[in-house]
Amino acid sequence: MSPSALYRTVARAEAITWTLLILAMILKYGIKVGDWPVSIAGFIHGFVFLSYIATAVLVGMNQRWRKRLILGAAATSIVPFLTIPFDKWLERNGKLDGQWRTTATDHPGDKSWMDSLMRWLVARPVLTAVILFVVIVGVFSSMLVMGPPGGRS
């Protein structure tokens, strides 16, 4: 899967989970069916939200985005559905062009230890997926222990 395809897939998944969360909130507060829809949709959205941030960082590093653009990409997950137009903007501006960089080039950016680590990771996609999954589960579990935004009701 190319960086563009991975980014687009996770960006769309993030927008879909926003839809699920909004619908769940309508069920909870508008129709008064209880907390269960928000618990389920919130769980799914939280996991995909963190996955999107990890994907934005990985793809941004691979594509040699500036740190500000990587941060901006991650921040688009905070606003419902913003990942979709941002993905289209990235595509229009050629920010998603190219494949995974698994070997060093003459580019000055290929000299840093961070770039070497990124190349090592993308050369091992299964291992990288497992590592990212474990990290995301760890962060997600910590957030679940802390509780939802605004506290527990």
| Residue 152, domain member (yes or no) | no
| Residue 34, domain member (yes or no) | yes
Residue 114, pLDDT score: 85
Q: What is the mean pLDDT of residues 69-76?
A: 96
Note the pTM of the prediction, 2 decimals.
0.88
For residue 3, give every residue at least 6 positions away whose Cβ sits within 8 Å of its Cβ, in sequence order, or none.
59, 62, 63, 96, 98, 99, 100
119-150 pLDDT, tens per residue?
A: 899 899 999 999 999 999 999 899 888 877 67
| Residue 56, domain member (yes or no) | yes
User: Given a cut of 90, is residue 75 above it in pLDDT?
Assistant: yes
Between residues 75 and 151, the one the model is more confident about: 75
User: Given a cut of 70, is residue 97 above it in pLDDT?
Assistant: yes
Q: What percent of the chain has pLDDT over 90?
A: 75
- The residue range of the domain holding 116 is 3-146
In whole angstroms, what is the distance from residue 121 CA to residue 116 CA? Answer: 9
Number of domains in the chain: 1
Residue 153, pLDDT score: 62
Contact between residue 29 and residue 78 where contact means Cβ atoms under 8 Å apart: no
